[in-house]
Structure 1
Amino acid sequence: QALGIEVTRSGSSATVYRDAALQSGEIHAELAGTTSRFLTALAATAGSSISIDGHERLRQRPIGPLLNALRSLGAQIADHDGGLPVSIQGPLRGGAVTIDATTSSQFISALMMIGPVLPEGLHITLQGSPISQPYVNLTASVMELFGVSTDISEGSIGISPQEYSATSVTIEPDASSASYPLAIAAATGSTVTIEDFGSSSLQGDKQIIDILREMNADINCTPHSTTLTSNGRDLVGIDIDMSEISDLVPTVAALACFAASPTRIRGVGFIRNKESDRIGDLASELSKFGANVVEHDDGLTITPAELLGATVDTHDDHRLAMGFSIIGARVPGTAITEPEVTSKSWPSYWHDIAEMVT
């Protein structure tokens, strides 16, 4: 709306009307990395200047690879040392572009979504193996819902000039968010069912279902629901590469504190540049509970230890807050500072979880 796009809301639905050119405006993305990166790419298609800024932590997160890619396509950009705040103006011509795929899949998704509206389309060459590849595939699936095709091959993505078609879309529940009540049920020996989230989900983070099974939880799913049932068995540790499902790291790390054997989380060195340092900050806060946590460049090792109540800091990170709630559901005396950070992705989280555990 700040850019001149009409949006109307009714209950849980929203309608977006795209019948006018993007207007000059200012966007404050708060802590939202996805929002800032997607809107940066969108702003580059406009003929007027658009400014994007965010919370101090968001200013510290990398966006340089995306800015460089947009510059190579013709965007005029003023940035702050390769980060926010940025002022950006198009239009873009399209063509060929190369981007580092090892920092964030959001850069790739942002470019993909503007590709169809560029006069020359877009051919994206990926440097390195993409992290969070499932999100790239999800982006292509959503674009297809709006009538746009993509050609994804190893190391490149091709998108020809096309027109997006208006459509009606039902957004499936967030798999990352579903992981918290499932993990709480596993930690506390209770039962929970998540409706509208099951084997038909397009999201990579639905792997939480397989992870919980591997950790010895009794979990069953249909295409449209998932149920975790108390089975009385001890959870067991796992050794897992989470490079493609990194948003699940706080969930798995918290649950690993209750396992009967060690857990090794690998392949996620890049999550140090999320809303928090999700390796260092997670390790230091879990240690406050008495957890035996070893920090590695690419992840964590968590060895079973007796946990005690503690006061832990969220570091302005909604996923850390929700991850610590898994421990709090089982360990008395747990206090989480700034719990309101969960409003970024789940505004009613504490109310909903309180109903679940009572």
Structure 2
Amino acid sequence: MRDPLLLRAPRGPIRATLRPPGSKSLSNRALLFAAMADGTSEVIGCLDAEDTQLMLDCLVAMGLVVTRVGSTLAEGVRVTGVGAGLGRSVGDLDLEVGTAGTVARFLTAALAAAPAPSWESVFLDGSERMRERPMGGLLEALRGLGADIGYKDAQHTLPLRIRPVAGGLPGGTVTLDRPASSQFVSALIFAGSSSREGVDIVLREGTPARPYVDMTMATLAAFGGSARWVSSGEHQGPGERLRVEPRALRPCTRFVVEPDASAASYFLALAAIYGGEVTIPDLGSESLQGDAQFWRVLAAFGAEGEQDRERTTVRGGGGGLRGQTLDLTDMPDMTLTAAVVALFAEGPTQIRGVEILRHHESDRLAAGATELRKLGAEVRELDDGLEIHPPAGGLRRGVVIDTYRDHRMAMAFALVGDVGIADPGCVAKTFPEYFEVLDGLGMIAPEPELESASQSEEGDDDAAD
């Protein structure tokens, strides 16, 4: 196994303008809607990473024509869709989704609703961790709408088999209490647009990370589809209701993907922690991503921030941060970034509303708590979040952070500096160049420092035992 990658704290304030790669969430939504449209769409700024490549590999396996405009996906990718039937391949298809929740859930729903496809059945499988992640609420909802989905090993998990329904998915109304993931709701939007009657989604207790659902609806609209939240006057009963209209999708000649707001959070947090100023261009107040508002969380901690239609900027003085009580229901992926910022704040920080993080690439609440404690913090793990008391005597240095094969664990804890990051390659899932960017900011330790720190890490590990 590769040695941990050692990072160091910046030698001074961070002053940079940085544009992260394209949003993974927008990229995979646009690629799949493009495949469901009748004609050729072009997606500009597409993320070029594992999760998007898995989506593209599945589309190619289904017989769709996918071409790159340049040497990278970011320069543009053209998808020639064949309508809601999704694909030209015949017979049985085997699709691999890896650890990509968007691919697993969105493809399952789109395939289950595909009318008159050329294929006979699809077998869909993923990584060991993806087999553990929740699918049951989505699968039962799809079956309730008329889908033909079977299971190979255990019910409600991958691997599974999808067969087309004669005449297409009927559609109708599906009721969920509070889904384990907002991706369930987004997946049902994919299915509803291809169904015969459309789909009404009733959410008795709302949905976590609702901005991601709004993102799906906005992306659908770019391809000529229609989904809307039903007003309280129209919806009689508890919770919220979302209506997805059945509609043939049309190609989008130029769909531009914004920079990934989740990735941007790490660089904005650097300015808050170490001082300086970081600007993210092309990520502004009209962003479709809920995480684009993370600058407000940093401002609550004590940094300065501003956002206009074109950019987001955070400034920090390298100190003076104060612990906060945060409800991150609408931006759960910001939890680990906020938790690391909390290490540098005065007083405790409490993060609530993020219970869905237990079902991501890792159990991010349990994993995050473990690694925060390694650094000397006192952490109380809550059902839906974390309570963090920063170490009174300062952070422990030379600690190796275990990343649990989770890209967000690696990227967030790298901000601490003077730590080792185990399995740094896991960032390839959404941001392969992440550590190259940090290297450009002077945060990758040179080789002699790495050797010295490795020796001190061994001593720390023995003491901890």
TM-score by length of structure 1 reads 0.95
Whole-Å Cα distance in 2 between the matches of residues 211 and 357 of structure 1? Answer: 26
For the pair 1:148 / 2:225, whether they are aligned, the reply is yes
**1:165 paired residue among 250, 259, 262:** 250
User: Contact 1:32–1:58 (CA<8 Å) still a contact in 2?
Assistant: yes
**2:77 paired residue among 4, 8, 14:** 14
**1:62 paired residue among 134, 144, 156:** 134
User: Contact 2:139–2:156 (CA<8 Å) still a contact in 1?
Assistant: yes
User: Contact 1:102–1:127 (CA<8 Å) still a contact in 2?
Assistant: no
**2:146 paired residue among 47, 61, 74:** 74
What corresponds to 2:453 in structure 1? Answer: none
Whole-Å Cα distance in 2 between the matches of residues 139 and 122 of structure 1? Answer: 15
What corresponds to 1:221 in structure 2? Answer: 307
State, as a whole percentage, how many aligned pairs show the same letter: 40
Residues 38-53 of structure 1: pairs in structure 2 closer than 5 A: 38-46=106-114, 47=117, 48-53=120-125
Counterpart amino acid of 2:341? L
What corresponds to 2:214 in structure 1? Answer: 137
For the pair 1:32 / 2:100, whether they are aligned, the reply is yes
User: Contact 1:45–1:89 (CA<8 Å) still a contact in 2?
Assistant: no
Whole-Å Cα distance in 1 between the matches of residues 435 and 318 of structure 2? Answer: 26
**1:346 paired residue among 411, 431, 446:** 431
Whole-Å Cα distance in 2 between the matches of residues 339 and 83 of structure 1? Answer: 28
The number of residues matched between the two structures is: 354
For the pair 1:267 / 2:359, whether they are aligned, the reply is no
Q: CA deviation at 1:233?
A: 4.2
What corresponds to 1:97 in structure 2? Answer: 174
Q: CA deviation at 1:213?
A: 0.7
Whole-Å Cα distance in 2 between the matches of residues 116 and 102 of structure 1? Answer: 20
Q: CA deviation at 1:232?
A: 4.5
For the pair 1:336 / 2:399, whether they are aligned, the reply is no
Q: CA deviation at 1:27?
A: 1.6
Whole-Å Cα distance in 2 between the matches of residues 72 and 232 of structure 1? Answer: 54
Q: CA deviation at 1:58?
A: 0.9
Whole-Å Cα distance in 2 between the matches of residues 224 and 157 of structure 1? Answer: 30
Q: Hey, which bits of structure 1, 4+ residues long, moved more than 6 A? A: none
Which runs of 5 or more structure 2 residues have no equivalent in the other structure? 1-59, 231-238, 444-465
Q: Determine which structure has more spread, i.e. the larger CA radius of gyration.
A: 2
Whole-Å Cα distance in 2 between the matches of residues 232 and 189 of structure 1? Answer: 4
Q: CA deviation at 1:262?
A: 1.0
What corresponds to 2:200 in structure 1? Answer: 123
Counterpart amino acid of 1:319? R
Q: CA deviation at 1:191?
A: 2.3
Q: Which moved further from structure 2: 140-149 or 257-266?
A: 140-149
Which runs of 5 or more structure 1 residues have no equivalent in the other structure? none
Q: CA deviation at 1:18?
A: 1.1
1:126-176 residue CA offsets vs partner (Å, 9 max, x unmatched)? 232211111111111111111222231252111222121211210111111
Higher relative contact order (CA 8 A, sep 6+): 2
**2:404 paired residue among 306, 312, 315:** 315
Counterpart amino acid of 1:348? E
Whole-Å Cα distance in 2 between the matches of residues 256 and 296 of structure 1? Answer: 16
What SS does the corresponding residue of 1:125 show, helix, strand or coil? Answer: strand
**1:290 paired residue among 362, 373, 376:** 376
**1:3 paired residue among 42, 56, 62:** 62
Counterpart amino acid of 2:82? D
Counterpart amino acid of 2:107? L
What corresponds to 1:258 in structure 2? Answer: 344
TM-score by length of structure 2 reads 0.73
What corresponds to 2:285 in structure 1? Answer: 199
Whole-Å Cα distance in 1 between the matches of residues 140 and 170 of structure 2? Answer: 15
The verdict on how the C-alpha distance between 1:205 and 1:148 changes in structure 2, with shifts beyond 3 A counting, is same
